[in-house]
Amino acid sequence: MHPNPAFRWPKSANDHQDADERAALEAMIAEIGFGMIFAETPDGPRVAHVPVFSTGYGALQFHLSRGNALTRHIARNKALCVINGPDAYISPDWYGLDDQVPTWNYLTLELEGKVRQMEREGLISLLDDLTAQNEAKLLPKTPWRRDKMDAAKFDKMVDAIVGFEMEILAWRPTAKLGQNKPAAVRKMAAAALDATGRRAMAHLMQEFGET
């Protein structure tokens, strides 16, 4: 994560900063819903790209294929999960200042924790939770549910994966949004970025980049 304190996750100005920050991070996990799990194996470090689900109680759940290199080794060990939000190249021309260099703005969250393997019932619950959370984003489409599947086929597919839960011991968010630039300069760069079609990052720079 970027070591510059200016790029730490923006905090609110009220008396509930920790709760507000946690709520924003939970919302980021739910909105993106996909991350990278890194862990050490006897054959060296490995990474898996997986859908993720936050329980809201300090745990992150995910599943891996039984054939994945991490599946046999990740339980009872520590792992990292990285969830990436919007990112964009920032041209120095957009600042209107002398002696600037190109940079990259981004929003990301790194989670570290201990991993345990879930029982089959927990895995099925995770699949239902992931489906419900993501189908809700598609409304007014009628949500898909697993009762539309043949039960035997669903069971066979569940047998091919393993569920895991990470007890989150550290939350490390970074919001590199140009906070080290004057507000007027940052907004000018955001407007130029928006014109290129990178609207998500442009919005973040304008709304959450306040010092």
Each residue's pLDDT tens digit, 143-155: 999 999 999 999 9
Query: How far is residue 63 CA from its own chain's centroid?
Result: 15
Is residue 96 assigned to a domain?
yes
Distance CA 168, CA 139 (A): 31
Number of domains in the chain: 1
Sequence-ordered list of residues with C-beta below 8 angstroms from that of 183, at least 6 positions apart, any chain: 209, 210, 211
Distance CA 7, CA 103 (A): 13
Give the pLDDT score at 7.
80
Concatenated DSSP letters of 1-30: ----GGGBPP--SSS-HHHHHHHHHHHHHH
Is residue 165 assigned to a domain?
yes
Under-70 pLDDT residues of the chain: 1, 3, 9-17, 208-211
| Full domain range(s) for residue 86 | 5-179
Give the pLDDT score at 21.
84
**What pLDDT digit, counting tens, does each position of 22-44 carry?**
898 999 999 999 999 999 999 99
- ∠ CA 21-26-28, rounded to 5°: 95
Is residue 209 assigned to a domain?
no
Is residue 171 assigned to a domain?
yes
CATH number at residue 11: 2.30.110.10
Distance CA 155, CA 41 (A): 29
Sequence-ordered list of residues with C-beta below 8 angstroms from that of 111, at least 6 positions apart, any chain: 60, 80, 81, 82, 83, 166, 168, 170, 171, 172
Is residue 109 assigned to a domain?
yes
Is residue 61 assigned to a domain?
yes
Is residue 12 assigned to a domain?
yes
